[in-house]
Structure 1
Amino acid sequence: MKLFSFKGKIKKAVLCVPLLVMSAFPGITGAEGITDAELAKESVSNFIEAAQSGNISDAVKWVVDTRFESTEEQVEQYKDSISSNPFSNASIKSIVPASENSFTASVDLTRKDTGEINNVLYPVIKQGDTWKVLINGQETMNNRVKKFIQLQEDKSAALPLASTHLGSYGDSLVKAGKSEYSNQFNMTEDRIGITGWQQIPGSLTKVDVRYSVVKKGIFSDDVYGQSFHNGMNYWDGEAFYTTVYTAGQTYSNVYLKVTNEDLGNTVRVKGHIYGN
């Protein structure tokens, strides 16, 4: 009987070990039950929290941002965008499966000045063992700029070629729906002039390309003005000229974003940016 009692005590002690471990480390309990959707949502939440608190080093850990060629460039641009961030709040509206290995997060961004909400969609992808937010040029725009652009769309006004060279973009091949960025520049007036060339390689077909002045913010490319050009300009021929107006405002540390609006063709682009 004593031996049996001793064995019983051993069994009880062994059973107590996992209970003690789970008590000491409660986070382990149910860890295997966390779904990919929950992990993906947590990554989006971590990114938003870091971005809103100005913790750039932490924000970078939770994103894959294709707009930048290096992490150093990404960090510097994020730091610059914190002081000019147009949004007072960001909140997750929903997160749904997009494929077997990705999700789409819908995030509402509330503007500081007007309270209006801009909605952006972020792919959430798995990189190694971590789910990350994919930022690849999502755009936002306030209503004032939208109305100004609508008024400008019916005008064919073009300024004489301005004298101050602000930057360049290309020579690049831009796939359908994708974008190319110029160097960063500061505006000298509430408009820029663009001379450029755009052509579908090996074709004489005209193509639609959108030229936008944007700020590469931590949440999106915030659009300050844009102009569409439909044309085919020989690579060694005469350049087109167009103007992008920015609703009476000038901006610093912005980019010209060149977007191929053609759904089926790659377009070759290059050009220069001027200010008065």
Structure 2
Amino acid sequence: MFRIRKIIASITLMLIILTGCSSEASLTNEEKVTGVVNNYLEALESKDISAMVKYTDDLRFPDKEEQKKQYKNIEEEITDTKIVEVKQVSEIEFKATVEIVSDGKLNELTFPIQKQEEDWKIIVGQDF
């Protein structure tokens, strides 16, 4: 009887581990994009330059080192951020509308997010 319980416990543990491992692979594109936007907003609030560069494709700076250098000069105080909406535009493009409190002022911005190779990138620096 003890041996059967041990086998059942082992199988249950194995199923839990396998389910946890496969959940990352089964994320929808919308969930992946929402995660990228959340990570970017957290980076804005904490002024994490490396993460800001990682999650964006800034059209103003084709060179990532130049992008980092320019981002270090940002003086805005971003105190709060929130995703308003993430909407799919096509198979490889989404639009995210976010609210950002910068220097005490609430701004609502919409960013395109595009799939580039295997990663989703927030496109910034474009003219509207």
With the length of structure 1 as denominator, give the TM-score of the two structures.
Answer: 0.40
Inter-partner Cα distance in structure 2 for 1:69 and 1:129: 19
1:89 is aligned to: 80
How far apart are residue 33 of structure 1 and its match? Answer: 3.6
Is this contact kept in 2: 1:22–1:28, CA < 8 A? no
Is the alpha carbon distance of 1:72 and 1:16 closer, same or farther for their aligned partners in structure 2, counting shifts above 3 Å? same
Is this contact kept in 2: 1:22–1:29, CA < 8 A? no
Inter-partner Cα distance in structure 2 for 1:29 and 1:57: 28
- Structure index of larger Rg: 1
Inter-partner Cα distance in structure 2 for 1:60 and 1:101: 20
**What secondary structure does 2:115 align onto?**
strand
Is the alpha carbon distance of 1:21 and 1:61 closer, same or farther for their aligned partners in structure 2, counting shifts above 3 Å? farther
How far apart are residue 27 of structure 1 and its match? Answer: 3.1
Are 2:95 and 1:104 equivalent residues in the alignment?
yes
Q: How many equivalent pairs are there?
A: 124
Inter-partner Cα distance in structure 1 for 2:110 and 2:11: 43
Runs of 4+ in 1 over 6 A off after TM superposition: none
How far apart are residue 78 of structure 1 and its match? Answer: 0.9
**What secondary structure does 1:30 align onto?**
helix
1:39 is aligned to: 32
Is the alpha carbon distance of 1:17 and 1:134 closer, same or farther for their aligned partners in structure 2, counting shifts above 3 Å? farther
> In the alignment, which of 118, 124, 128 is matched to residue 135 of structure 1?
124
Is the alpha carbon distance of 1:78 and 1:98 closer, same or farther for their aligned partners in structure 2, counting shifts above 3 Å? same
Cα offsets for 1:90-119 (capped at 9, x unmatched): 21111001112111000112132xx43211
How far apart are residue 28 of structure 1 and its match? Answer: 1.9
> In the alignment, which of 53, 60, 82 is matched to residue 46 of structure 2?
53
- CA RMSD, 1 decimal: 2.6
Higher helix proportion (structure 1 or 2): 2
Is the alpha carbon distance of 1:108 and 1:29 closer, same or farther for their aligned partners in structure 2, counting shifts above 3 Å? same
Inter-partner Cα distance in structure 2 for 1:94 and 1:30: 23
Is this contact kept in 1: 2:45–2:78, CA < 8 A? no
> In the alignment, which of 68, 72, 85 is matched to residue 79 of structure 1?
72
Between the aligned residues of both structures, percent identity stands at: 29
**What secondary structure does 2:76 align onto?**
coil
Inter-partner Cα distance in structure 1 for 2:11 and 2:29: 26
Unaligned runs of 5+ in 2: none
Inter-partner Cα distance in structure 1 for 2:39 and 2:94: 16
Is the alpha carbon distance of 1:99 and 1:61 closer, same or farther for their aligned partners in structure 2, counting shifts above 3 Å? same
Is the alpha carbon distance of 1:79 and 1:96 closer, same or farther for their aligned partners in structure 2, counting shifts above 3 Å? same
**Matched AA of 1:76:** K
